[in-house]
Amino acid sequence: MRLLIVEDDAALARGLLKAFRGDGLAVDHVSNGQDALDVVKMEPYSAIILDLGLPDLDGLAVLKRMRTMQVTAPILILTARDGTNDRVNGLDNGADDYLSKPFAVEELEARVRALIRRGQGSHDPIVVLGSLRLDRATGAAYLGDDVLELTRRERSVLETLMSKVGTVVPKSRLSADVFDYDDAVSPNALEVYIGRLRRKLERSGLEIRTVRGLGYLLRQI
Amino acid sequence: MRADRPGFSIKRRLLWTLLVPLCVILFALGLSGAWLVQRNVENSSDRVLSGSLQAIGETLAMQEGYITLDLPPSALGMLENVDRDNVYYSVIYRGKVITGYPELTTDQSANSLESIRFRDGLFHGVPIRIAMEAKLVPQLDSPIIVQVAETTKNRRAVANRIMVTLMASEVFLLLVIAGLVFFSVDWGLKPLAALRRTVESRIAQPELDFAPLPLKDVPQEVLPFVSAFNTLLKHVEQTFDTLRRFTSDASHQLRAPLAVVRTHVELLERRAEGSPEVRTSLSDISQAVRALQRLIVQLISLAKAERPSERHTVEVFDLVECAAAASRACAARAFDSGMEISFESDQNRLMVYGSPILAGEMMANLLDNCIRYGREGGHIIIRLPDGLGRLEIEDDGPGIPPGQRERVFERFYRLPQNSDREGSGLGLSIVQALGKRLGASVSLETPSNGVGTRAVIQFQRV
């Protein structure tokens, strides 16, 4: 897997190279737009990190040119501006993700990993959160080395919550995932499943929190 | 701040410059008027008196050695008037009163023939006007002196009536002119009031408008002032533009090096090497870098909130959805800080005017304050209590003393109790600036149970 970093700030580029090479990726670095356009023609990258503030060409123009050159690699744009217009412009012009400076290295790594996965079209069926592992292909769930017994609906709720870790999932969304149109759902049916899941996740280091009026959130304690 | 004492009003200036000379003129007019009235009334009264005198004088004759006098009733009747003046007469021959009132003295000194003479006198202490004629009658060697007199009540009354009318007219004139000054000043300044309304409507606008004031309908006298003001507006706009570019550039310039520092510090921390002192230093640096980053981000959003560069046109949006999104976004952080968060809304939809992006930024700042300064284990409530476009964000933390509720909106002001916590002191300034742009008001109050802080944003309902 090969990553291209287009960044004119040498010091930042050095840091990023160190971080991604530490993650075991092959990383190329160019410091201006023209070099970036030249190099993407030769090498099939898995993902591209593109700084919008380049010395020679406008970052958005580089982005557009790459897309017209049929570069299909996912592109994450970095910018020192956080204006919503910039974000919208970037995404409109073919960027896949957006991060404004300064950022946490971990977050950049996580997003690049996600982009690479998406670019390869392969969804890793195993989702991991702390000691919890869920195999979406087989439906099996594990807490550490132990098998976690789940009913179909409990697994459904857990899978939805795990796909949105750290964010509040609205009740309506969970209900839609769990219940069919045919199910006669009582208002607190969902709470029943949440309650059961909570008991099963006791002492797992995970908890399902209620945000009254909004929904549920799965988090690591 | 106290306004400077304003100068004299234009009305006052005009009244002074107009009314003082006018009063002098009217006084002089009054004096000359009084003199003229006096003279005219005297003349016409004297003419009647002389008519009466001549009528008596005509009847004087010698008949068989006697002086005869036929006192025609019309002669004294013409002196009758509404004021019932007393009329006196006397006919004197050689210093001897032949008929009439002996008390009516004669003025012997001036005794010219065939000409009526008038003089003032007293009759029993009452002022009278006396007309006297010396008449020669055939067969008599010495002239007969005929005198007719009347008290002066009537002529005084006539003169007074005219004088009062004159005075009343003058006072009326003064009042009319004063009224005209007020009216015409108001009317003349009407275009200025229109200009004032234009300027005031701009102050009320959330976004500063530097377009020049319209010169149409501006009176010529005020034109130079308005033109100068427009030039000033242009200068301010240019300065504002420079500042705007500076903020944007500064944001870029500050963020780029900060990204370098942050990246390298995090990489160093990750390698888990070095002595405990090095690790403590790294952790301090990393914390400071994050604080610096937040400060810069907050400064930029404050600068952006206070300037209209990115034009968020006022649109209609769903406040319930916007508030729910803001609450969802901060829920994880609230839980990380050991707090509960709940969302209360009676409606599923509530359309208000504004911008969902800016409104979301306001809520994010308020929620951030709740998490930062709230009580550990505390409870944050986001509430849409009615259909009136009111949003409440409430915590049960230490609260803001009532005396500080104005000051916390000042930039960089932080409550003394929070000095040990991380924070920029800009959050509420941003909220207020954004509120101003959206036409939403922001206020702080104490929740009904007396604990914590409740921030209230009042949006404009559709």
Residue pair B223/B200 in contact (Cβ under 8 Å)? The answer is no
- Does residue B322 fall inside a structural domain? yes
Cα Rg of chain B, angstroms:
49
Say yes or no for a CB contact (<8 Å) between B252 and A215. no
The per-residue pLDDT for B109 is 57
Going by C-alpha positions, the residue among A97, A43, A32 that lies closest to residue A71 is: A43
- pLDDT (tens digit, 9 = 90+) per residue, B371-382? 988 888 899 999
Whether residues B300 and B405 share a domain: the answer is no
Please work out, in degrees rounded to the nearest 5, the angle formed at the alpha carbon of residue B165 by the alpha carbons of B160 and B171: 125
- The number of domains in chain B is 3
Tokens of B387: 């259909």
- Report the length, in residues, of chain A: 221
- Does residue B400 fall inside a structural domain? yes
* Predicted confidence (pLDDT) at residue B93 exceeds the cutoff of 70: yes
| Mean pLDDT across B194-219 | 80
Whether residues B270 and B402 share a domain: the answer is no
- Does residue B115 fall inside a structural domain? yes
Question: How many inter-chain contacts (A to B, CB under 8 Å) are there?
Answer: 102
The per-residue pLDDT for B1 is 43
The per-residue pLDDT for A183 is 64
As a whole-number percent, the residues of chain A with pLDDT over 70 amount to: 92
CATH number at residue B136: 3.30.450
Whether residues B367 and B418 share a domain: the answer is yes
Whether residues B298 and B429 share a domain: the answer is no
Say yes or no for a CB contact (<8 Å) between B259 and A103. yes
- Does residue B154 fall inside a structural domain? yes
Whether residues B344 and B372 share a domain: the answer is yes
For A44-58, B220-234, B296-310, B356-370, which range has the lowest pLDDT when averaged over its residues? B296-310
| Mean pLDDT across A9-37 | 90
For A116-125, A152-161, A173-182, B142-151, which range has the lowest pLDDT when averaged over its residues? A116-125
Whether residues B153 and B228 share a domain: the answer is no
Whether residues B119 and B50 share a domain: the answer is yes
- Does residue B26 fall inside a structural domain? yes
Q: Residue A195's CB: how many other CB atoms inside 10 A? A: 12
Whether residues B273 and B342 share a domain: the answer is no
Residues of chain A contacting residue B340, judged by C-beta atoms under 8 Å apart:
212
Whether residues B34 and B76 share a domain: the answer is yes
- Does residue B5 fall inside a structural domain? no
The per-residue pLDDT for B108 is 62
Interface mutation vs chain A, best among B263, B293, B300, B363, most A CBs within 10 Å:
B263
- Does residue B213 fall inside a structural domain? no
* Predicted confidence (pLDDT) at residue A79 exceeds the cutoff of 90: no
In three-state secondary structure terms, A159 is helix
Last residue of one domain, picked from the residues B128, B147, B163: B163
Last residue of one domain, picked from the residues B306, B327, B356: B306
Alpha-carbon distance A217 to nearest alpha carbon in chain B (angstroms): 8
Say yes or no for a CB contact (<8 Å) between B267 and A105. yes
Read off the pTM: 0.61
Q: ipTM above 0.90?
A: no
Whether residues B302 and B327 share a domain: the answer is no
Whether residues B289 and B251 share a domain: the answer is yes
Chain A nearest-CA residue for B252: A80
Whether residues B290 and B321 share a domain: the answer is no
The per-residue pLDDT for A160 is 87
Last residue of one domain, picked from the residues B116, B143, B163: B163
Residues of chain B contacting residue A105, judged by C-beta atoms under 8 Å apart:
262-263, 266-267, 270
Chain A contact residues (CB < 8 Å to B): 9, 11-12, 15-16, 18-19, 22, 53, 80-85, 100-106, 166-168, 209, 211-215, 217, 219
Range of the domain at B73: 13-163
Interface mutation vs chain B, best among A5, A81, A101, A165, most B CBs within 10 Å:
A101
The per-residue pLDDT for B391 is 93
Chain B nearest-CA residue for A209: B335
Q: Domains along chain A?
A: 2-120 (3.40.50.2300), 127-220 (1.10.10.10)
- Does residue B193 fall inside a structural domain? no
The per-residue pLDDT for B270 is 83
| Mean pLDDT across B279-303 | 84
